[in-house]
Amino acid sequence: MEVRLEIEQTRINVEFLPSEDELSSIYSEKMASALQFSIAASGPVDFRLVHNDHLSLIILLAAHPFAKGDLTIPLHVSPLFANACDVFSRYRPVFLSATNKPYTPRSTGRPGLAFSGGMDSTAALALLPSTTVPVFLDRPHRAKTTLYNKSAAKATLAFLEAKNIPNISLSTDVEFIRNPIGFPTDLASGIPAIALATHFNFDSIGYGTVMESAYRIGHKKARDYEHSPHYRLWSPLFSSAGIPLILPVAGVSEIGTSTIVHHSQYRDMARSCIRGQWPRSCNECWKCFRKQLIDQAIKGQTMSDEEFKRAIQSKEVASKLSSEFISHENVLGWALERMERGTVLDLLYQRLVASTYSLNHLNSFYPNSINLIPPKYRLHVLEQLRNYLPEMKIEDQQRMVAQDFSKYVESTTFKSKVIDFKTLIKN
């Protein structure tokens, strides 16, 4: 794959030219018809000053699902970054040279945060230093391509402005190079923050990655994220570019991020729904259902069977709940466990794997996740975590990382519960 790059003062244009081998491979299934995207700024930003290691990292985050063989990147990078790229096996980044000086932030460096305005990234903002700059990825609107509505995010940014919290938005259509539309890699949501690292003197790039995604709790099998292939791949690349990953909520569940936001100065601004017109949520999407259930449980409220039946009128919600294993189902179990459940809602609870074990650890934070914070900010984030949440008990820590429900989901007991629930919601 060949990369073409155009850099103007307020715009970066990237185009991928796949080889015949890539076009005929299984990786072509994820390619959109046009493999090109831009990053655009409306403010006083000069993209011509972006460090080549950062430009290369942006390219890798975008090209990763599609590349095979040589990935030719027309940039001179630092030896440190070039060496970190040896980690790739399916493809090989090829640079003009590895003679460039590495990026070194000044002593006044600060974190940049990939910010969506949802609960998780807002909780990350609450835990990070006040110098942190939230960077919003402003997705261009394309009619009939998505149901995305940015009104809630725009309201959140206005909230930050009113509190004199510095923030910035950059426009990029990187999600449109993937088929179906979406980020080519999960960390690609940080592309705008990476592009601004030199301008704002960022010394780290933050994400609102929660425990369900990092450690995969609430999935069939958990993992020790610090030693996972995902972290071992991307963490050295960010570090070699002088902007190490900072993941303040990686040891916090969705229950914890909601708790943090509810007790922070941002409690009135965060909303995870990206479809409804502000100030209303769409009340149709899976995020709305999951986050609202959590919110009700935290407030000591419940959901009646009638309300639940209305919720599953949404095809998306019904489809998610009909899956054999519901992703992030641990948070559903936590919320339902605390509610007075009618017949239908109780049947949902009983079909969850999460109904078979204790979920009290979701109210706490996993202390080992502090290793995912650069040393400069480790103590600050730890102190903030302790302000909002208790530390997870040792026995819960060990049990959480070792969770493996693969055998249980193959059992006749579990399968019969799933069938009973599916039968009920179809009637």
* pLDDT tens, residue by residue, 136-180: 999 887 655 556 677 777 888 888 888 888 889 999 999 999 999
**Structural tokens at position 284:** 């149709």
Cis before 236? omega within 30: no
Task: Tell me how far apart the alpha carbons of residues 303 and 296 are, in angstroms, rounded to a whole number.
Answer: 8
CA distance 221 to 237: 26
Residue given tokens 């239908």 in the structure block: 344
Whether residue 231 is contained in a domain is answered as no
The phi, psi pair for 372, rounded to 5°, reads -90, 10
- Which pLDDT belongs to residue 280? 75
Q: Are strands 36-40 and 168-172 parallel, antiparallel or unpaired?
A: antiparallel
Q: Is 100 inside a domain boundary? A: yes
Q: Is residue 255 part of a domain?
A: no
Percent of the chain whose predicted confidence (pLDDT) is above 90:
76
Chain-centre distance of CA 371, in angstroms? Answer: 18
Instruction: Let me know if residue 375 belongs to a domain.
Output: no
Evaluate whether residue 36 is within a structural domain: yes
pLDDT at 276: 67
Q: Which residues contact 416 (CB under 8 A, 6 or more apart)?
A: none
Cα dihedral 103/105/110/114 (nearest 10)? -10
User: CA–CA separation, 240 vs 236, rounded Å?
Assistant: 6
Question: Residue 242: which of 371, 102, 99 has the closest Cα?
Answer: 102
CA pair distance 7, 12, nearest whole angstrom: 5
Range of the domain at 75: 1-104
Asked if residue 391 belongs to a domain, the reply is: no
Residue 198 zone, left/alpha/beta (φ > 0; ψ -120 to 50; rest):
alpha
Q: 219: which DSSP letter?
A: S
Nearest to 195 by CA among 393, 34, 57: 57
In a domain, 93, yes or no: yes
Mean pLDDT, rounded, of the chain: 93
H/E element holding 142?
A: none
Model confidence over 105-118: pLDDT tens digits? 999 999 999 999 88
Give per-residue pLDDT as tens, 179-232: 999 999 999 999 999 999 999 999 999 999 999 999 999 999 999 999 999 999
> Tokens in use for 46?
């000069």
Scanning the structure block, which residue is given the tokens 């820590």? 397
**C-alpha distance from residue 385 to each of 124, 197, 371 (Å):** 10, 26, 14
List the beta bridge partners of residue 105.
none
Q: Could you tell me if residue 77 is left (phi over 0), alpha (psi between -120 and 50 degrees) or otherwise beta? A: beta
- If one counts the domains in the chain, the total is 1
Higher per-residue confidence, 206 vs 279: 206
pLDDT at res. 116: 92
d(CA 316, CA 324): 15
Asked if 35 and 66 count as a contact pair (C-beta separation under 8 A), the reply is: yes
pTM for the predicted model, two decimal places: 0.95
For the chain, the distance separating the N- and C-terminal CA atoms, rounded to the nearest angstrom, is 51
Q: Is 407 exposed, middle or buried (0-12, 13-18, 19+ CB in 10 A)?
A: exposed
Give the pLDDT confidence of 67-98 residue by residue, as tens digits: 999 999 999 999 999 999 999 999 999 999 99
pLDDT value at residue 155? 83
- Read off the pLDDT of residues 308-349 as tens digits, 9 standing for 90 and up: 888 888 888 989 998 888 988 999 999 999 999 998 899 999
Q: Which long-range contacts (CB under 8 A, 24 or more apart) does 139-148 make?
A: 139/171, 139/172, 139/173, 139/175, 140/171, 140/173, 142/173, 142/176, 145/176, 145/181, 146/181, 147/275, 147/282, 147/285, 148/274, 148/275
